[in-house]
Every structure is written in structure tokens, then in C-alpha cells.
Structure 1
Amino acid sequence: MLIEKVPQPADYIKISIFGAGLSVLWTSLHTIIIPVRLLDIVPEPQKNTYLGLLTFVGYILAMLIQPVAGAFSDRFTSPMGRRRPFILVGTLLALLLLPTMGLSEIFILLFISYCSLQMATNIAQAPFQALIPDLMPQKYRGTASGIKSLLEILFAVLVVRIVAYFMDIYIVQRNTLWLWVSLTVPGLVILGTMIATFLTVREQTSPPRIRVEPATKVATTAYKIDIGRNPNFVWFLMSRLFILMALGTLQTFALYFLGDVVHVPNPAGMTANLMITVGISLLLSVYPAGLLSDKLGRQPLIVLSGAIGIFGLLVLYFSPTYFGVLVCGALLGIATGSFLSTNWALATDLALSGEEARYLGLTNLATAGAGALSRLAGPMIDFLNSRHVDLGYSTMLVLCITYFIIGSVLVMLIRRVSSNVTD
């Protein structure tokens, strides 16, 4: 049942906190832990290629799993509700699999561990994402999405800096104790946020609003988009895909960029410092953007975020120094914060009533698709770098600027969203 009264701060936090745990886990792995682990087990000149291919396959799995998990959640009934059982099971599976990221000493084992962990967390993520449209009236969803993004960013910035500190010690000392400490920290965070969600969220226990169907039919129709009822959703997915491709490419190869182009002495620590710069800017922009989108509309703020992102990348392209990196990071933080909260509010607007988890799982076609496609830049970077010093990284920046432009144009094709789409 939707919250009819004006939501209190605690109401927003309850339905958002698990996202912070997921953000901590995957930001720690993608930005710090996995790039460093790959340096332990793959040839250094091919590090971008291995990183790109590893995460590409993982994101494809995520893209396939979320809509199916969401569709089953939409049709699920239990005394605990439709969403929390999936959050519980997915989190427990993830905690069982997380240690394998430290045990893997060859690439194929790391590959299997990573893909398994992706599957587990996405079982939990799709149902979790439906809590906002389940429990928040549409006029508060921009604010709720802003707070969701705010918590994800705040937790990620604070915890990833701690993880980077431990990983820097691991790099210097080669003592696996610090690798295990680095893996334990995000594990504890996702466990704590799962428990908080499970204990504080109160879901409706009434039957789902859509017809219960055989499991095979649910799985095979999970990817269907009703273009007749919801044509805007396709433009939304395409716009989200391109903008997240820009952000995903930059996040994935930041550590290697800092080491190879900016020549910082401790890339893991400097990557975390960059994330703190980005995070501060995110924190300053994410909540106001969500609030403003409730008043001014979603598209104008998404276009503005794209323009700011383009300007930030131009700064980095013409000034590939540590100072230029920080300036770019600050601008990208503003762009990302504005985009994340506003774009997610648009997603909740476009989710069809009764199928919120499936539709928000379908947003992962863009989210994970962007993550997968952005990782394919890895082989290109290595190939072009082998032809000319840093040519691959320069081309990467030009590609990201292009992605921002395309994504900003596509979002303008979305017609005005009516409140009866979801409520």
C-alpha cells in the first residue's frame, strides 16, 4: 500500500538503505579490488582487456537476471511481502560467494566467482528497486529517488576510501590479510543494510495485482515492453544506456588511467581520492536534483546533467593532470548526481502499475547493458595504446563525450509522463 501521509525522513531511508549496501559492494569491487586483483593474475599490458571482458560478461548476466527476478517478485505472495524474501535470499547467496573473489588465483576462477556474485546480487536488486513505486506516491518519488541516490553515494564514498586504504597496503606488502579485510568491509555493509531493510520495511501482504502465471511463462515474458501502453520507456532505456556508458567507462578504467597517463605513485589511493571528489559533488547535487525534478520535470535536468558531464570531460581531455582529474571529477559528480536521482524518478514514473519490479528490472537492460558495453572499451584502449602512447585513453574520452551527447538528445524524445502510468 502506498504511504498516504506525507513521508517522514525515516520512510525514505527504510526503502533506500539496501541500495547503499549494493553500491558499496560493487563500487569497491569494480573500482579498486578487481583491477588490483587482475594485476596479480594477468599480463600487465592486457589488463584493460581482461578487466573489460570480465565485467562485460558479468553485466550481461545482470541484464538477463533482473527482469526475470522482478517479474517473479511482482507475482510472489508471502507473509513477508513480495520484495523482502528476494532481498534476503540474494544477499545471503552474495555473502557466500564474496570470499571466492579472494580465493581465485587464476583468471577463469575469478571469472566464475564474479559472474556468480553478479547473479546473486541481481536476484535481490530487482525486487528492491520496486520499493519506491510500491510505497511512495508519484509526487514524492523524485525526492525518494534523490535520497536513494544520496545514500548510495554517501556510503560508497566513505567505505570505498577505507577499502582503498587496505588495498594500498596489500599492494605494497603483498600480505593477503589486507585483501581479506578489503573484502570483509563491503560484505558487512551489505549484510547490515539487508537486515535493516528486512526489519523496517512494511510491505503489503495482499495478492499481487497481476495474474499469476506459470513460471516458464513469467520467465519468457519478463523482457516484454508494452510499447503501445508505454512508448516512452524505449526512449528512456536508450537515453539511460548512453549516459551510463559514459560514466561506466570512466569508472572502470580510472585506476589504470591515473597510473598510465597521470603517473600517480599509488593509483588505488588516488582513485579513492578522485571518488571522494566526485562523491562530494554528488552529495551536493543529488537531493536538490530529485526535488527539482518533482517541480520542473525530469528531462530538463537530465539534459543539464549531460551538458555538465561533457564540460568536465573536455577539461580532462585538454588537461590530463592530477588537478585536471579533480576538476573533471567535481563536474562529473554534479552531472552524475543530477542524472541518477532524476533519471530514476523518471523510471518510477514510467513503470506500469502492478509490474513495477519487472519494469524497474528492465531498466537494467540499460544499466547493465551500459556496464557491459563500456567494458568493451578495454581491448580498444590496449590496442590503441600499443600504437601510440595514451592514444587509447584519449579515444576513450572522446567516446564518453559522444555518449553524453547522444543520451541527452534521446531523453528529449520522451513525451510528457502522465501520473496514471503507475498509480
Structure 2
Amino acid sequence: MQTTPANPHDIGPLEPESTAAATPFPARNYVMIALYWFSLSFLWGGFLSVVLPVLNEPLATPIFGSNNIETARGIMTGIGLIIAMFVQPLAGAISDRSTHPLGRRRPFMIVGTLGVFVALAIVGLAGSWWILLLGYVLLQLLDNVSQGAYQGLMPDVVPDDNRGKASAALAISQLLGTLVGAVIPGILQGVFGKIPGSQIDLVLVGIVFAITLTLTVIFVKEKPYRATEKVSAWAAGLSMFKGVSHYPDFILLMLARFLFLTAPATASLFFKPYLEGPGDLNNPKFGLSFIRPTVNTAGQLEVNAGASLSIILGIVILTATLAAYPFSVLSEKTGRKRMIFIATGIGFVGAIGLLIPAIWISSAAETARTLSGFEAQQSYLDPVRGTALLLVILFGACIGSSWGAFMSVDWAFATDLIPADEAGRFMGLSNLATAGCQAFGAFVGGFVADSVLGYNGLFVLIGIYYITSAVILTRVRETRGRARQQVKTEAALG
């Protein structure tokens, strides 16, 4: 039977699970459970692609030089995301065994969020690249402590028959947070300037975290867990990998996921510097800026693509959402692999297509250089920039729809391949591929962007990620229903 919460608005713990299905679950409960995911997505929706590039550039230049700014950002992002790969599943596993009076999840969420406040302050006020790196590492560490525990909250308090709706609520919250998080930083940078706008955005992130955490702690109640045996933190973390080798199709699918998601992750991380370029017609290294440069008070050329990038990222996320449902439905009729192959093709077209506007602007620049005066050169390029930006949006939408289609089908595909009674553990491990792709994309992409290949080489590399993912996917057996049970039996015998 259900334990009655002290507050009639609280979401009470449910026991035992076998009777949970008969328990009424008001609509407001879905909102309260999903709220915290909004803050997580609001933070990361624009931080890596809009905020961090702005904060990194002036601090990295004295150490790495002006030609290696993206390498510095790639190193920083890579270190942080490698931490995220392992901290999140470890925190989730440890919270499973927490006996704190407040419950298994909320204490980790509280500590993690308080740490996020400190990390945001360090990042926003950093006066050197090393301090910025410290703040970013702390942000990844503490955010994933909170997030790892939070992902176990829904299964703890939601009745079995309501988990589908709760999952939908989490997805909507994540989408809205990502969309708002991608748009707001660019707008603030456009209104207040790059660095002040980024700092204001970090303050807003802290406020959103405070509000959503408070509501979650007050209205979502947990029953304290009474452990039957003591398990060390290391044992809890290492146990997550036990027996995974018996499911080779799942491992191959996660490798394909890793490479596929590295493509849109790389694109989003480097879209801003790709759009801004050097702004100087006499600097041919990366071609021309997609945004008209302006002259600041110091007499230097300045390009701010924050607002344009936020719009593009918003469109990418929107197309991802629109593609998710139809691809998921079609995968039930035509098969998972076929729909993923189609998604891969769409993504490949988007990646290679992004070469077109860059080449177009570079070609127009040759004519612009023959004109006399900065204003005449820029006026000639303005119409070209407008059309080129439309092409960037078009091909960016291809990457977005490909991403949404893949994620909706990939999740279902993964559940086809894993043992039903261990779905939580296996899906938690899938975060290694999800977070790992961002670390890998940032690290490799930074070196490629700063090399002689530039951003043209970067988008060719993204296309290679898509193709390699598809090749690996051909080795994965598609199994559902009886076939899934057969694979499970074979794994057990193996």
C-alpha cells in the first residue's frame, strides 16, 4: 500500500511496487518530478556552445596563443566530460545504497546543487584559464553527482503504470530546458556584451537550479532506504559493469551511438567560432565570418554570433523533436536499423552540406578584397551572408532531425537488446557513450579546427563519424519479442 505523505501535495514513496499501479497519480506530480531536469538542461543547453567559447577566448590566448584557442577549449571540455562519464553512473550506484533519512536521492541532489552554485561563481569570475578550468571541472563533477542520483528518483516514487507518462514529462522538461538554455545566452550576449551577458546567464542558471531544487525537495518525498548489507562506494561503481560482456549487440550499439552522437556534439560545440570566423578579410585561415563584423571602441574588429547561434540551435532542437515521434513509430513497422540508417544519411547530408556556405563566402571574399574600404567590402558580402546563413540553418536542421530520429529509435533499440530486469543498470551505462561522445568530439575537434584543415576539415570529419557509425551498426542483430529472449538465453549460456 502507499505511504500517505504528511503534506497532501507531496509525492509520497510507494510500497510495495506490486500495488503501486492502483495508486492515483495526479498530473502535478509529473511536473514536480520533471522540474529539476529543466534546470540541468537549461545549464548545458548553451553553456558549451555559447558561454564557454566567450569565457575561454581571452583567458586561453595568453597561454595557448590566438591560433590555438579551440585547442584550449577542447582540452578543457574533454577533461570535464570525461569526469562526467564516470561520476554520473558512480553517483547513481552509490545513491542506490544510501540510507540517509531524507531518502536515497535528495541528499545527493542538495549537495550537488550547492556545489554547482560555487562552480558557477568560479567560472563566471575566473581571471585566468587555469581558474576557469578548475571551475568547469567542479561544475561537471558536482552537476553529475546531483544528476546521477536524480535519475533514480522517478523509478523510486512513480507507480509502474505511470512511468510512461513520467518519462514523457522528463523528455518535455529536458527539451524545454535545452531550447531555453540555447537561446537565452545569445540574447544576453547581444544585449549586454559577450562576457557580461555570459555572466548574467550563469546567474540565471543558479536561480533556476535553486527554484527547481527547492520545489523537488519539498514536494517529492522519499522513503529512507534500509540496506541489508554494506557496500563500499568502489564496489557499487564497479558492479555496474558486471556481466555486460554477455551482451555484445548492446556493446556494438553503444559504440555506434558513441560515433553517431559525436557528430552533432562536435557540430554544436564549434558552430559559434565557425559562424564568427576571424572577421578580417585579410585573414584567410578559416574563411570569412557569417556575421558582419563591427569596430569596437578600441578600434578592433569584433564579431558576435551569439544571437544567430541561439536561433540556429533552437531550430536544430525543434527539428530534433519533430523527427523523434514519426521515426520511433516507423521503427516499429520497418525495423530499428533501417530508420537509424536513414537518420545517418540525413546527418551526413547536413555535415557535408555545411561546407557549401563556407566555400561560397570564401569565394565572394575574393571579389570583396578587390574593393576599396572596409564598408564597401562588408556591404558586398552582406547579401551573401544572408543566403549563407539560410543554408547553415537548412543543413543544421538536417543534423538536428537526424539527431532526434536517432535518439528516439536508439533508445528503443537498446531496450530490445538488454535483459528487462536490469534495464536501469544497462541504460545507465549508456551514458558512457552519450557523455563520452562530447568529450571525444571536443578534444579531437579542437585540434582539427586549429589545424590547416580548419572548419571545412571539421565537417568532413563529422561526416566520417556518421559513416563509421553506420558500418558498426551493420554488425548489430535486430531482435525483438522471441528473438530478444533468444539473445538473452544465448548470452546466459555464453
Q: Give the TM-score range, shorter chain.
A: 0.7 to 0.9
| Cα-to-partner distance string for 1:385-421 (whole Å, 9 max, x where unaligned) | xxxxxx3211211111121223244345054256888
1:239 matches 2:307:
no
* Residue 131 (structure 2) aligns with: 109
1:38 matches 2:56:
yes
**TM-score, length-normalised on structure 2?**
0.73
Give yes or no for contact 1:142–1:291 (8 Å, CA) kept in 2. Answer: no
1:250 matches 2:267:
yes
Gaps of 5+ in 2: 1-13, 278-286, 293-303, 359-387, 489-494
SS across alignment from 1:336: helix
* Residue 263 (structure 1) aligns with: 290
* Residue 388 (structure 1) aligns with: none
* Residue 374 (structure 1) aligns with: 441
Q: CA deviation at 1:187?
A: 1.8
Give yes or no for contact 2:35–2:173 (8 Å, CA) kept in 1. Answer: yes
Match of 1:334 among 401, 420, 425: 401
| Closer/same/farther in 2, CA of residues 146 and 231 from structure 1, 3 Å limit | farther
| Closer/same/farther in 2, CA of residues 196 and 404 from structure 1, 3 Å limit | farther
| Closer/same/farther in 2, CA of residues 134 and 338 from structure 1, 3 Å limit | farther
Computing the radius of gyration from Cα coordinates, the structure with the larger value is: 2
| Cα-to-partner distance string for 1:28-56 (whole Å, 9 max, x where unaligned) | 22011110011222223222111111101
| Closer/same/farther in 2, CA of residues 54 and 414 from structure 1, 3 Å limit | farther
Give yes or no for contact 1:18–1:193 (8 Å, CA) kept in 2. Answer: yes
CA RMSD of aligned residues (A): 3.3
* Residue 123 (structure 1) aligns with: 145
In the TM superposition, 1:301-312 aligns within 5 A as 301-312=339-350
Query: Number of paired residues?
Result: 410
Q: CA deviation at 1:363?
A: 2.1
Match of 1:180 among 159, 176, 199: 199
Matched AA of 1:398: V
| Closer/same/farther in 2, CA of residues 95 and 243 from structure 1, 3 Å limit | same
| Cα-to-partner distance string for 1:33-87 (whole Å, 9 max, x where unaligned) | 1100112222232221111111011011111212211211222234544333322
Q: CA deviation at 1:297?
A: 6.3
Cα separation, 2, equivalents of 1:293 and 1:135: 31
Cα separation, 2, equivalents of 1:397 and 1:286: 24
In the TM superposition, 1:337-376 aligns within 5 A as 337-346=404-413, 358-376=425-443
Gaps of 5+ in 1: 385-390
| Cα-to-partner distance string for 1:324-370 (whole Å, 9 max, x where unaligned) | 11001222222222233443455566676776665444223212211
Give yes or no for contact 1:166–1:182 (8 Å, CA) kept in 2. Answer: yes
1:405 matches 2:467:
yes
Match of 1:69 among 66, 75, 91: 91
* Residue 387 (structure 1) aligns with: none
| Closer/same/farther in 2, CA of residues 323 and 101 from structure 1, 3 Å limit | same
* Residue 299 (structure 2) aligns with: none
**Larger deviation: 346-355 or 52-61?**
346-355
SS across alignment from 2:430: helix
* Residue 173 (structure 2) aligns with: 151
Give yes or no for contact 1:301–1:342 (8 Å, CA) kept in 2. Answer: yes
Matched AA of 1:59: L
| Cα-to-partner distance string for 1:205-232 (whole Å, 9 max, x where unaligned) | 5557x9642334224x155241355444
| Closer/same/farther in 2, CA of residues 359 and 249 from structure 1, 3 Å limit | same
Match of 1:226 among 217, 237, 243: 243
* Residue 316 (structure 2) aligns with: 278
* Residue 198 (structure 1) aligns with: 217
Match of 2:42 among 12, 24, 30: 24
Higher RCO by CA contacts (8 Å cutoff, separation 6 or greater): 1
**Larger deviation: 314-323 or 77-86?**
77-86
Cα separation, 2, equivalents of 1:269 and 1:62: 28
Cα separation, 1, equivalents of 2:229 and 2:333: 35
**TM-score, length-normalised on structure 1?**
0.84
* Residue 232 (structure 2) aligns with: 214
Give yes or no for contact 2:93–2:240 (8 Å, CA) kept in 1. Answer: no
Matched AA of 1:38: N
Matched AA of 1:234: I
